[in-house]
Homo-oligomer: A and B are copies of this chain.
Amino acid sequence: MRLSQFHLHTSKETPADAEVISHKLMLKAGMIRKLAAGLYTWSPLGLRVLRKVERVVREEMDAAGAIELLMPAVQPRELWEETGRWEKFGGQLLKIQDRKEAWYCFGPTHEEVITDFARNELSSYKQLPVTWYQIQTKFRDEIRPRFGVMRAREFLMKDAYSFHLSDEDLDRQYRVMYDAYGRIFTRLGLGFRAVFADTGAIGGSASHEFHVLADSGEDAIAFCEGSNYAANVELAEALAPGERPAATEAMRTVDTPTQKTCEDVAALMGVDLARTVKSIALMGQHEPGAPQFVLALVRGDHAVNEIKLSKVPGLADYRLATETEIAGHLGSQPGFLGPVNPKRPIRVVADRSVAAMGDFVIGANVPGQHLAGVNWGRDLPEPDVVADIRNVVAGDASPDGGGTLGIARGIEVGHVFQLGRKYAEAMKCTVLDETGKAAVPAMGCYGIGVSRIVAAAIEQNHDDAGIRWPSAMAPWQAVVCVINPKNDPAVTEAAEALYRDLNAAGVETALDDRGLRPGAMFADIELIGIPHRVVVSGRGLEAGTFEYRRRDAAESENLDRTALFGRIDARLAG
């Protein structure tokens, strides 16, 4: 592609309304242009990148045995009523009335349509297993569309759906798709993690999310460097630490007149925050024989995990205790609470780490006072419940025993679910099994946010000058820049030859023949993130060299033709 014949339209201005770097850079590079809230036109440059992602996704889906089809964007209300999602899906469902006043929606996902397709197409177990996929435009009416194509309303998605006679076969294909997802993100050159996930609104059982790792990611992920373990921080299990140490101190009172947080108390006392314990006062359900008032304890340097807390028996619908309830049970006020000597019976739920502490610091139930040197069994009874009720933190042991956990931030770009029989049952989709009996197939569903990947890749790969595309996603692998094309025919000729030869060698190369000044030209090429830049100039030709620079290199080098080809593609070096 000659850039003079291509519509490249970069901008020096930093867009005012773009909050994240990928949105800023996509606008500056001219990859997208906003049409309305959450609606973007993909410019020729942007579309080149989008298509590269699409192609890798398609190739890996085909390789995984999935068969491509294409379902309509517009879906009739009747199908969504069969699964109850016409109401349940919520405001993200864009509802449409046609000229005959029949209701439709702009599909945000296609479980209903594919299950309808399946119940018409499938009649026998012999047709199973089957996995269908499409790469298709979806719409979700986000209440606050933002971050450009990261959270757009109209977006491009790959969604796949599999049908199986048995749960075991669903498990097998789930693993096949899981592996295919790994290959997709690896081929795209992205740092990613597959994490255990909550199944959310789609429903079902097993589920993994695929996250592109980036500091700006909305989700926190716990992962083990030494193994494949990864999970959303909220779902990752915090293991019990080692044995509880023996008491070495006597319990004593410490004056903490204004110190209401563990941080302040630890600072005042000059002790490690990990020696302190936080008390959270809750009201649980009425259960026979157990006080309704609960004190949940986590270490001062840990955070309570509400999902885990709600899984403790009696706490499914817990709420925070009121100040009156706290005063009634503990005779104290928030900031100085603790499980030692309550006024009335309470239930103590200790995190595993807290249960393993000795000589700890905790509120004294007296305003302005904490207790230090506290020990279980000696100064207060053993906890009523010991459970995992905190978020994991970096340095925790990995639940799979593979080492210690790190915490990273991620952008969700893929999701695989085992849906089970929820949709097939609701929509009466059956096949005849080997014995001639009608059987409801088990389903899997597998999504990838194709357009979102483009933004996520930029979040992970950029610098001050612009985007740094991984090779597989770059609009072109290389650009040949011509300096002063009009003044020196030899330069133009050499650049044309190089452009031709690189393309012939399989390196997708553009020719920057726009006649810009070098500074403006190089700024554009860096902004749009081309991995390899070659400059052809009169001076270089005299010396028999080209000026070569990798997008991620600090300096350029003068290379002869053979060295240049070798540098751009190691496969071409020999």
Contact = CB atoms under 8 A, between A and B. Distances in A.
Interface of A: 5-7, 9, 30, 33, 35-36, 39-44, 46-47, 50, 65, 67-76, 91, 94, 96, 98-99, 104, 106, 113, 116-117, 120-121, 127, 130, 132, 137, 139, 141, 143, 153-154
Given A41-B69, A73-B106, 19 more contacts: A5-B65, A9-B121, A35-B71, A35-B75, A35-B113, A36-B75, A36-B104, A39-B75, A41-B70, A41-B71, A43-B121, A44-B67, A44-B68, A47-B69, A50-B70, A74-B154, A94-B99, A99-B141, A137-B137
B116 A35 contact: yes
A132 B76 contact: no
Which of A47, A72, A130 has the most C-beta atoms of chain B within 10 angstroms of its own C-beta? A72
A180 to B, nearest CB: 16
Nearest to A5: B65
B33 A117 contact: yes
Interface of A is mostly: mixed
Given A41-B113, A69-B41, A139 B7 contact: no
A76 B41 CA distance: 13
Which of A6, A36, A104, A127 has the most C-beta atoms of chain B within 10 angstroms of its own C-beta? A36
A121 B43 CA distance: 10
A98 B41 CA distance: 19
A206 to B, nearest CB: 25
Contacts of A35: 71-72, 75-76, 113, 116
A113 B143 CA distance: 23
B74 A33 contact: no
A51 to B, nearest CB: 8
B98 A69 contact: no
A42 B72 CA distance: 8
Contacts of A50: 70
Contacts of A5: 65
Contacts of A70: 41-42, 46-47, 50
Contacts of A137: 73, 137
B36 A139 contact: no
9 contacts: A36-B75, A39-B72, A41-B72, A43-B69, A44-B67, A44-B132, A47-B68, A73-B154, A74-B106
B96 A96 contact: yes
Nearest to A48: B68
A109 B43 CA distance: 18
Contacts of A43: 69, 121
A496 B142 CA distance: 51
Contact of A121 (B33, B75, B143): B33
A155 B72 CA distance: 9
A204 to B, nearest CB: 23
A139 B74 contact: yes
A141 B33 contact: no
A69 B40 CA distance: 11
Nearest to A45: B69
B44 A143 contact: no
Contact of A42 (B41, B69, B104, B121): B69
A540 to B, nearest CB: 28
Contacts of A40: 72
Given A113-B35, A127-B7, A98 B68 contact: no
Contact of A106 (B65, B71, B106): B106
A294 to B, nearest CB: 39
A99 B76 CA distance: 18
A478 to B, nearest CB: 20
A124 to B, nearest CB: 11
A407 B507 CA distance: 51
B72 A154 contact: yes
Contacts of A7: 67, 121, 127, 130, 132
